[in-house]
Structure 1
Amino acid sequence: MIVGLLAHVDAGKTTLAEALLYDAGRTRKLGRVDHGDTVLDTNEMERERGITIFAAQAELEHAGHSVTIVDAPGHVDFSAEAERALSAVDCAVLVVGANDGVQGHAETLWRLLARRNIPTFVFANKMDLLPDGNTAQTRAQVLASLRSRLATDGGEFIDAVGLMHRDDNTSDVLEAAAATSEAALDEYLETGTLTPTTLTRLVGKRRVFPVLFGSAFKNQGVTELLDALVVLGPQPSWPAAFAARVYRVSHEGGERLCWLKVTGGTLRAKQQLEGIDSGKPWAEKANQLRVYTGKRFELASEVAAGRTCAVTGLTHVRPGDALGAEPASEPPVLAPVLVYGVKPGEGADNHAVLVALRELAEEDPQLGVA
């Protein structure tokens, strides 16, 4: 399962990513944004500014389940990168600072998630900063704030811990979940509970939005979030025919990396891939398959459907491209509104400047270099 982490800037998203990796035993210490030692913010600009600029991924194991987290940018200036990352995820966690409430860009991200019909969890972070602490009354206030700010089209924000326990003390929580679906309500009235399969279906159809409460900085509520993801999160099935979608292109150490999610069959190292670029067919080999955690990567001989990897050797693909049996993607929703002029200094090689700008445009096609 691939999980996207999304948030308005400064909600604590990257801190949560660090805590998830730590709790899953993937790292030995909790990195901090202000110390510049986080696993996923590895670019020099990211560490200098203390914000996420490029989507980064890491794999972890929890309760026998494999989970890939994709940490997407939260700053509005890099929202196009966040939107591209959504094409790789099976579900998302929207991180909201409980002390600040739902901020403007979080609403934009929420609408993007709804447009793509992505099952979504909410992590109410920084509960330790609220005057009353993480009490039942405070959690109820946070839930009320989510309901007032985020449109759900008939869905419901529900305490995820209550959904997972499903005992006599959580009957009100189960009743609220059942009320979002006629079939679920019939099941609840007949049995007095909801099966895990039903709850997973409600989450997958965006009828229920599980909410977790905690503090990523103090590592509170993080294990519960991992539990909720593997218990309530989607477990998609994939077709046998090879298919993949490219969601990112980057250049590192002189190499062009194409980041993709395999959505069918299996991708193997040295496999021949084909496509069309500007109306012309191309065929190239996927030389290396790299599975990244931050800056570090492991070479894989093959990558099965449902996982992501970075591929070397592909020079024609762009973010959003479909490979194999994957259907064409929808155009991006977020669009740039500014136009900039670049004036090379005296004696500069204008052609070299143009080549560099076009390389940047490969990473972000919305730059539209001319």
Structure 2
Amino acid sequence: MPADLTKLRNIGVIAHIDAGKTTVTERMLFVSSAKHRVGEVDKGTTTTDDDAEEAERGITIYSACVQFPWKDVRVNLIDTPGHVDFTAEVERSLRVLDGAVVVFSAREGVEAQSETVWRQANRYHVPRIALINKMDREGANWEEVLSEIESRLGAKPVAIQIPAGQGPPHVANPFRGIIDLIKQKLITFPGGKDSREVVESPIPDEFADDAALYRDQMLEQLYGYSDELMELALGGEEIPEALIRKVLRSATVHLQIQPVLCGSALHGMGVEPLLDAVAAYLPHPLEMPPVEGVDPTGKAVKGKSKRRAGSVSDRSSGGEESPEGGEPVKKLVRKPDIAEPFCGLVFKILPYKTGDLYWVRVYSGELKPNSRVLNPGKDLKENVAQIWRIHASKKDEQLDHAEAGDIVALLGLRDSVTGDTLCDTRTPILLESIEFPDTVISMAIEAENSEEKKKLAGVLEMLRKQDPTFRAIENEETGETLISGMGELHLEVIQHRLARDFGLKFRARQPRVSYRESVARKVEVTGECNRNTNGVQHTAAVRLRVEPFTPTGPLAHVAPPVVVSVDPAAATTGGLTSEFVNLVVEELESATEGGGTLGFPLLRLKVTVLGGEVHETDSTDIAFRTAASLAFDKGLREAGVVMLEPIMALQITTPDEHMGDLVGDLQQRRAMIERTEQRGGATVIHAQAPLANLFGYSSAMRSLSQGRAGCSMTPSDYAPAPDDVVQKFLGE
């Protein structure tokens, strides 16, 4: 009998680092009786941070999935990292989830990574609720954080709870419970963090005015989403709880509002009401739109020169036309129904002794062990040997089937990677893949001997498969391997894994920045091929325009780094046949992947095919490919090299007395101070600085502030590098 999908919640917990995500997850497991003792991050005893590196550092590095019951609902929960270096874990989790709990610290408020994860949730259209955590901390300010959620995130927060006091026990009005604005009750947790006791009582007189004010404000925000609610209010009638919850659920599921709750997960306050809100306001799979894909059997999605069909950039244009303007791509949908053909998405891969574990979100149909499925993106079939329930990052329970709405682990796959679709072999569909950011930092490592080198190559290949933001390229001439990632911590964790988990012996060089290349100006060039090879004459000419190009609009962040286009006149007055135009485009797309004049990946570049010359008898495929390649190289040289360096957005929180020293240090690092603001008793500095000048910044910041300042940084943009950097690479 199919499971009741209305009783299933697939959710994630997302936030800035140290906002309390893992503690919230741990408390959820405890209060739901899925765990008998509460683990603690500081002691390395939490369920989801089960990796040695996570326990040692006290941070989440890898997303982990746990399942537990809450009243009549079954919850699949993914705990995600908060550090920007591991943002890919958030990206892939949000891609497959139906809802999210976004955690904010009541003291720090909306931080840099808070904005990043919120944007990611926006991109994947994930309904969410917010928890303002750490209400018992010194400097907690619930109203200010609520205001920041609206102003900095562009959100529509609706407070359905307010705190009864805020701050630690020694302040005048400490945090001691939660006032539920729907029930109009004070909720307290007298047993502390090791208890599941929840007590409801009337709202004390000291909080009555605030509760009435915020309840009116909550209802006013909801009137616009329900005529029935508005009519009852205008008639002065009592508004039933059930109607308020119904309107809240509908508006949340349709991404119109975000309910806001509060609490202190560390001390066991507010987690039960949070789980009630997850069940009440976050969607079940049937409330999500049917998953969309394209027909992979169509001519439009075949051929190596096209980008992956179903990608974000394809979807931005509606997916109606093929990448080369040929046959329209046929759109397909799959409803979350066991009667539909099977389809799912691989969103994570973990190594296991008996074979890699492939984490899959099942969107439709049913999947059974010992079956064969199609990977339409690679046009190959895969064997599904076993299906497992996931607990943290390990196998938990072997299943006899998986169905629509499930998140499970598969054993037996071989060639699939993160972002690949799996589907029924008879009714193929290709789902939108997962887009990951480019790496910004790299370092060289070298194995100590030839035996270690062979082992290192195998391990790096496995790590590449697991982590889509990790790159490893071997330099045959030097014997070194260049590994690239999202930040210093990312590469540090990789090094520790190589040494500790795999016992490899290697030497590591200092990290270096991953630059990009663009061009300085627009040029038009002609590439000519006039060669005789083995008695066969090859003659052709191709005209191109090469120019700098900066994408704009809401999807600019997922635009391809290089745009190859064709002037409409190229195949008419431009002198080229459509067949030769397609050959030229294919050659240019291949050439742009090889990097620029200095060997760095190309970025913000547009290449337009203007036309060419076709010889009556001597024009061949080889001639046009050669002419296109020569024209592209010539265009890069004549347009002039522009080196682009990654710029990081910094957010530094410091006591006022250390602000001057920190600002002075930032200016020496070529940072631009954007603004400063007061938050509690501290100053927050917002700045932009080149990554090249930020190596070791965390240590320098702690030294300058006597360990009292905190910092977060996220990739912001690319900007032209200074002349001395360009000259160094040009050898001048």
Which residue is 2:470 aligned to? Answer: 367
Matches within 5 A, 1:345-364: 345-364=448-467
Distance in 2 between residues matched to 1:309 and 1:263, nearest whole Å: 11
Partner of 1:340: 443
* Cross-structure match for 2:36: 28
Aligned to 2:232: 191
How far has the Cα of 1:158 moved from its partner? 2.6
8 Å contact from structure 2 (residues 16, 113) kept in 1: yes
More moved, 160-169 vs 42-51: 160-169
1:166, distance to aligned residue in structure 2 (A): 8.4
Q: Distance in 2 between matches of 1:118 and 1:45?
A: 30
1:260 aligns with 2:261: no
Deviation at 1:218, TM superposition (A): 0.3
The corresponding residue for 2:284 is: 235
Q: Equivalent residue for 2:418?
A: 319
Counterpart for residue 156 of structure 1: 157
Paired position in structure 2 for 1:286: 384
Q: One-letter code of the match for 1:248? A: K
Distance (whole Å) between structure 1 residues aligned to residue 436 and residue 182 of structure 2: 35
Decide which moves more: 265-274 or 114-123.
Answer: 265-274
Match for residue 19 of structure 1 among 6, 24, 27: 27
Question: 2:275 & 2:429 partners in 1: Cα distance?
Answer: 30
Is residue 146 of structure 2 the alignment partner of residue 143 of structure 1?
yes
Give, in angstroms, the shift of residue 333 of structure 1. 4.9
Work out the CA distance in 2 between the residues paired with 1:31 and 1:60: 16
Letter in 1 for 2:249: T
SS across alignment from 2:27: helix
Partner of 2:628: none
Could you say if the C-alpha distance between residues 96 and 195 of structure 1 is closer, same or farther in structure 2, counting changes exceeding 3 Å?
Answer: closer
Counterpart Cα distance in 2 of 1:139 and 1:101: 9
| C-alpha distance in structure 2 between counterparts of 1:326 and 1:27, whole Å | 39
Give the aligned partner of residue 189 of structure 2.
Answer: none
Q: Which stretches of structure 1, 4 residues or more, deviate above 4 A after TM superposition?
A: 160-164, 166-169
Tell me the secondary structure at the aligned position of residue 437 of structure 2.
Answer: coil
C-alpha contact 1:244 1:326 (8 A) present in aligned 2: no
Post-superposition CA distance 1:96-140 (Å, at most 9, x none): 111111111111111111111100111111101145x7xxxx533
Larger of the two Rg values belongs to structure: 2
The percent identity for this pair of structures is 30
Match status 1:215 vs 2:215? no
Higher relative contact order (CA 8 A, sep 6+): 1
Task: Specify which of 223, 245, 248 is matched with residue 178 of structure 1.
Answer: 223
Q: Secondary structure at the match of 2:357?
A: strand
State the match for 1:310 in structure 2: 409
SS at match of 2:351: strand
Distance 1:345 1:34, change over 3 A: same
Query: SS in structure 2 opposite 1:33?
Result: coil
Tell me, which stretches of 5 or more residues in structure 1 are unaligned? none
* 1:254 positional shift: 5.0
Contact kept in structure 2, 1:258 and 1:314, CA below 8 Å: yes
Separation in structure 1 between the aligned mates of residue 15 and residue 64 of structure 2, nearest angstrom: 14
Which AA in structure 1 matches 2:69? E
Counterparts of residues 38-117 of structure 1 (less than 5 Å): 38-117=46-125
Paired with 2:125 and 2:232, the residues of 1 have a C-alpha distance of 29
Q: 1-side partners of 2:411 and 2:433: how far apart?
A: 25
SS of equivalent residue, structure 1 residue 315 = coil
Distance 2:381 2:451 in 1: 36
Aligned length: 357
CA distance in 1, matches of 2:10, 2:432: 18
Distance 1:86 1:47 in 2: 24
> Shift in Å at residue 95 of structure 1?
1.0
The CA distance in 2 between the partners of 1:326 and 1:41, in whole Å, is 35
Counterpart residue type for residue 143 of structure 1:
L
Tell me the TM-score normalised to structure 2 length: 0.47
Does the CA-based 8 Å contact 1:269-1:289 persist in structure 2? Answer: yes
State the alpha-carbon separation in 2 of the partners of residues 355 and 224 from structure 1.
48
Shift of 1:87: 1.6
C-alpha distance after superposition, 1:176-232 (max 9, x if no partner): 1233xxxx2433222335454432121012211011100110010000100001011
Matched AA of 2:231: E
Does the CA contact (< 8 Å) of 1:85 and 1:247 recur in 2? yes
Q: 1:90 to 1:163 in 2, by over 3 A?
A: farther
Matched AA of 2:113: H
Return the alpha-carbon distance in structure 2 between the equivalents of residues 191 and 302 of structure 1: 48
RMSD of aligned residue pairs (Cα, Å):
2.2
Q: Distance in 1 between matches of 2:62 and 2:422?
A: 23
Q: 1:272 to 1:347 in 2, by over 3 A?
A: closer
Letter in 1 for 2:157: E
Q: 2:223 is aligned with what amino acid? A: A
Shift of 1:50: 1.1
* Residue type at the aligned position of 2:443: Y
Instruction: State the shift of 1:285 in Å.
Output: 2.2
Give, in whole Å, the separation in 1 of the partners of 2:409 and 2:251.
32
* Structure 2: distance between partners of 1:273 and 1:224: 41
The residue type paired with residue 30 of structure 2 is: Y
Summarize deviations over 1:57-113 as a string: whole Å, max 9, x none. 111111200011100111111111221111221101111111111111111111111
**1:276 CA drift (Å):** 4.2
Q: Deviations over 1:319-349 (max 9, x none)?
A: 1111216642244253322233222124444
Matched residue SS, 2:443: coil
On the 8 A contact 2:376/2:429 being kept in 1, the answer is: no
Distance 2:251 2:460 in 1: 45
Distance 1:333 1:163, change over 3 A: farther
**Structure 2: stretches of 5+ with no match in the other structure:** 1-8, 162-178, 186-210, 234-238, 287-335, 474-732
